[in-house]
Amino acid sequence: MGSKRCSIVLIILILIISSLACGLLGGSDEPTESVVPADQSTENTAPQSLADESSSVESEAPQSAPDVKLGDEYRSEEGGYAFQPVPDYAFEEFFGLASMTAPDADPERGPMLVLIGGTNEEEATQDELFNQFMQDAEGEDIQILDQREIMVDGKSGILAEISGSDVNGLPITGRIVVVAVTPTQQFTLFASAPEDRWGEIAAKFDAVLASVTFFEPKEIDLSEGLGEDISGGEVQDLSPLGQDETIRQWASFAYASSEYGSDDWSAMQATGEPDSTLCSDQTTAWASSSSNTVEWLELSYNVAVIPTEINIYEVYYPDQVVKVEVADENMDYYTVYESTPTDHAGGDCPYILNIPVNMDQPVYSVKITVDQSVLTSWNEIDAVELVGTTSQGGLPAVPNPDFSAMGEFPTAYSDLPAGGFAYLLASNDGSLPVIVNQGTLQDQSTSAEYVLGLVSEDEQNVLTIFLPLNVAAGVQIMLPYDDNSPTKSPGATVYKGLTLYTNTDGIIMVEEIQNDTISGMVAFTALDESGNQLSVTGFFNQLPLAVP
C-alpha cells in the first residue's frame, strides 16, 4: 500500500482480509474457462444501488470472457488460485496477495486490481463471508451496491459494486467478488479506480476474473528460507567462535526511531515469537511512522549471550535491512551485517533474514536499520530471534537491564486515572527510552489556543501539547512547530532534560471531549537544534481544558 492514510482502498483491503480471515501470505498452461457476471457495463458511470440491499442476491447467467488481452497464467501457490495478469500493469505477489496497478495509477485510488486467496481453520459459506464483510463495512464511508451471485471456475460466489471516496473526498468506484472455494478456502478479487476512470478497468476486471482457476493452496512454513540471504548483504566476521550451550530467545523489549502506532505497528510488536502469518501490512509487526525514511529498531533480550546468529522475521516489503548491530555491556555497537535495499518481489515472504555472527563477547541487544527510501514502502518486522551461547572462555554473560524500573506504560488512555497521562520518549542515539507515567499538569492556555504541559514527577521531562480552541473528537494532523507563529496548534514540544525538541509531524487522536476535559493519545517525531530525533508516544485521560 502506498500510504497508511485511511483511503477507501486501504479500508477495503483491511475489511477483505479480516472478513475472509485468509491464510494468505502467500509455468504457463491455458487456463480453464470460467464464468463471469453477465451484462457488466464498462461505461464511466458509478454503479446504481439496489432498491433493497438486504434482499437475497440475484443469480447471474454465465457469459464468456471479455475480449481483453492478458498475460501468461500466474499461479499463486499459497493463495490457491491461478489467473492471467494485465500485461501493462505493475505486478506484485506476496504469499497469496497479488496486486496489479496501472502505470499512472493514483496510489490511493487506482486503477488497481487485488487478488487474495488462502485457507482458514474455521469453515464459512460465501454468504457468511460476504455478510461479515458487509458488517465490518458499516460505519465506514463505503456503499455496497448491486449485489448478485456469480460463478467462478465452477464455484459459486458473490459480486458487488462498491462506491466511496478517498481521503480528499474524491469519488472512487470499485468492484468485489468473494468466493468460498471450499468451506475452508476463500478467494476475493477487488478492483478500484477514480470514478471517471472506471471504464478503463471494468473490462479488465471481468477478463481477469474469467481467467481465475482454483487449486489446493500450498501450506505456509515460516521456517522455509531460514539460513538463506538472497539480498546479497555482507556478513561481518568479528572473531572466531567456539562451541558452548546454545540459547534461542525472542526479544523482551523494543523501541525504535519511530513507530506508526503506540499499540498496532509499535516497536513492541517486534517482541516475542512471530505472530504475523500473513505477508502483508500487519498491525502485529513494527512499522515506522513514514514509509520512505531510514529508521532503526532496537531489541533487548532477557539473557545476554555470545551471539551465533540473528533471525529477522520480515512480513511486508522485506529485504530493506541495510545494517544490523549488536551492543555489549558498555553499549558499544558492533556491525554484524550490511547490505543495500533490494526489491524482494517474487521472493519468499514472510521472509527470514538469517545472519551468522562470530563474536567473543556477550551482547544483550540487537539494532536493525532499514532504508525505505529506495522502495518507498514499509519494511515491517514481526520478530527477531537472537541465538548464542551463555559463556565462552570464561567470559560472563551480561544481565539484561531491568526495564521494569521504568514503570508500566499504558496501551490506551482508558488505562489511566482521570487527570492522568503517560508518554514514552525514544531517542535515535542508542540510549534507553524514557517512560513518564504520571506527573503534574501545567495549564498555560491562552485566548488563542490550549497549551497543556505534562511534567514528569522528577521535572526532568515536559511534553507540551498545543491544541486549537475549537478542537473536536477525531484525528488532528500536527503541524510542524513554528516558534515564530503566535498560534502553534495543533503541535507539540518536548524538553528531555535541558534539550528542547520540536515536532516535525505526527497526529493527536482526540478520543473524547466531555465536561471540559479531553482524552486521547499523541504520536509524533521531533528534532532538536542539532537534528537529533526523538519519537514520542503518549496517552492522556480527562485533562481539564480551560482558557484564561
Model confidence pLDDT, tens digit, residues 385-414:
999 987 543 333 333 333 333 446 676 788
Domain-embedded: residue 71: yes
The rounded distance, in Å, linking the Cα atoms of 385 and 536 is: 26
Residue 2 banded pLDDT, cuts 50, 70, 90: very low
Q: What is the mean pLDDT of residues 80-101?
A: 83
Give a yes or no: residue 209 inside a domain.
yes
**Residue 186 resides in a domain:** yes
- Which pLDDT score, from 0 to 100, does residue 540 have? 94
Residue 64 shares a structural domain with residue 179: yes
Residue 544, Cβ density class (10 Å: 0-12 exposed, 13-18 middle, ≥19 buried):
middle
Q: Is residue 225 part of a domain?
A: no
Q: What is the widest separation between alpha-carbon atoms in the chain?
A: 79
Number of domains in the chain: 3
Q: Is residue 176 part of a domain?
A: yes
The 10s digit of each residue's pLDDT in 338-384 is 999 988 776 778 889 999 999 888 887 899 999 999 988 889 999 99
Looking at the fold, whether 415 and 385 belong to one and the same domain comes out as no
Summarised one tens digit per residue, pLDDT across range 29-48 is: 333 333 333 333 333 333 33
From 301-305, 438-442, 465-469, the region with the lowest mean pLDDT: 301-305
pLDDT band at 3 (very low <50, low <70, confident <90, very high): very low
State which residues form the domain around 372: 234-401
Q: Looking at the structure, tell me whether residues 148 and 16 fall in a common domain.
A: yes
What gap in Å lies between CA 169 and CA 182, rounded to an integer?
38
Residue 220: inside a domain, yes or no? no
Q: Which grid cell sits at 374? A: 529506495
**Reported confidence tier of residue 288, pLDDT bands at 50, 70, 90:** very high
If asked whether residues 530 and 421 sit together in one domain, one would say: yes
Last residue within a domain, chosen from 214, 247, 275: 214
Strands 142-152 and 58-59: parallel
Q: Which of 214, 247, 281 is the last residue of a domain?
A: 214
Same domain, 263 and 142: no
528 and 395, same domain (yes or no): no
Q: How confident is the model at residue 61 (pLDDT cuts 50, 70, 90)?
A: very low
Residues 393 and 422 in one domain: no
pLDDT on residue 12 = 56
pLDDT band at residue 126 using 50, 70 and 90 as cut-offs = confident
Q: Is 19 exposed, middle or buried (CB count within 10 Å of its CB: 0-12, 13-18, 19+)?
A: buried
Say if residue 387 is in the same domain as residue 268: yes
The more confident residue out of 521 and 8 is 521
Check residue 45 and give its pLDDT.
38
Q: Could you tell me if 19 and 129 lie in one domain?
A: yes
Higher pLDDT, 480 or 209: 209
The band of 233, judged by pLDDT with boundaries at 50, 70 and 90, is: low
Res. 546: pLDDT tops 50: yes
With respect to residue 503, please indicate whether it lies within any of the assigned structural domains.
yes
Residue 460 corresponds to which amino acid? Q
Say if residues 92 and 98 touch (Cβ distance below 8 Å).
Answer: yes
CATH number at residue 182: 3.40.1000.10
Q: Same domain, yes or no, for 187 and 291?
A: no
Instruction: Looking at the structure, tell me whether residues 25 and 59 fall in a common domain.
Output: yes
Which percentage of the chain shows pLDDT scores above 70?
74
Confidence of residue 98 (pLDDT cuts 50, 70, 90): confident
- pTM for the whole thing? 0.39
Nearest residue to 445 (alpha-carbon basis) of 460, 426, 465, 427: 465
Instruction: Give the model confidence (pLDDT) of 438-454 as tens digits.
Output: 899 999 898 889 999 99
> Could you give the angle at which helices 126-137 and 8-20 cross, rounded to 10 degrees?
140
Residue 272 CA: distances (Å) to CA of 371, 382, 385: 24, 9, 9
Same domain, 181 and 77: yes
Average predicted confidence (pLDDT) for the chain: 76
Which of 214, 243, 269 is the last residue in one of the domains?
A: 214
* Residue 247 belongs to domain with CATH number: 2.60.120.260
Q: Which of 382, 400, 404 is nearest to 247 (CA)?
A: 400
The rounded distance, in Å, linking the Cα atoms of 295 and 427 is 12
In a domain, 99, yes or no: yes
| 148-152, 211-215, 234-238, 277-281, range with greatest mean pLDDT | 211-215
